[in-house]
Amino acid sequence: MQDALNAQINAEFWSAYLYLSMGMHFEAEGRTGIANWFRIQFKEEQAHAEIFMNYLNSRGGRVELKAIEEVPTHWASPLEAFEQTLAHEEKVTSLINNLYALAEAEHDYATRGKLDWFVSEQVEEEETAKNLIDRLKLIGDNGLALYMLDQELATRTYTVPAPLAAAGE
């Protein structure tokens, strides 16, 4: 279980790095609202890694940080980036589900309980990405509509995830 949780920590940091790359790409393109959305995602993924690290330490395990593999750095459009976001979140969902199955197989009910929050979080992550994809498809080539969505995404703010807030961090 410890090895699997360490692999998930690495996956969460890779996700953070991916979203930071997306944010920097759209910042350079002048789409500051979309960049903000991805910067918030970056922070959320870092927080997810921190939740796993805190949990592993609290259970007497050892966190082993590994190298983070390279991430993409260019996207042809916001739609392409959000389609990749959805595909990535679906992959993360499968990783969380695999952790859950492993925890059950090992009768590790404490870990399974900790993973309940992540299961719900992944439902939200996928739904958000799907919603943004649907909206971008509706927008199409309408520059004003894309500008308005960019302005809306600029208002997104970071909220400390419940497992970290509960820990007083």
Q: Mean pLDDT per 10-residue run, the chain (169 residues)?
A: 98 98 98 98 98 97 97 98 98 98 97 96 97 98 97 97 80
CATH class of 2-161: mainly alpha
Task: Tell me the C-alpha distance between 50 and 27, whole Å.
Answer: 26
**What is the pLDDT at residue 107?**
98
Q: Is the pTM of this model over 0.85?
A: yes
Return the domain boundaries, the chain.
2-161
Instruction: Write down the H helix ranges in the chain.
Output: 2-28, 32-58, 78-105, 109-139, 143-153, 162-166
Compute φ and ψ for 156, nearest 5 degrees: -65, 135
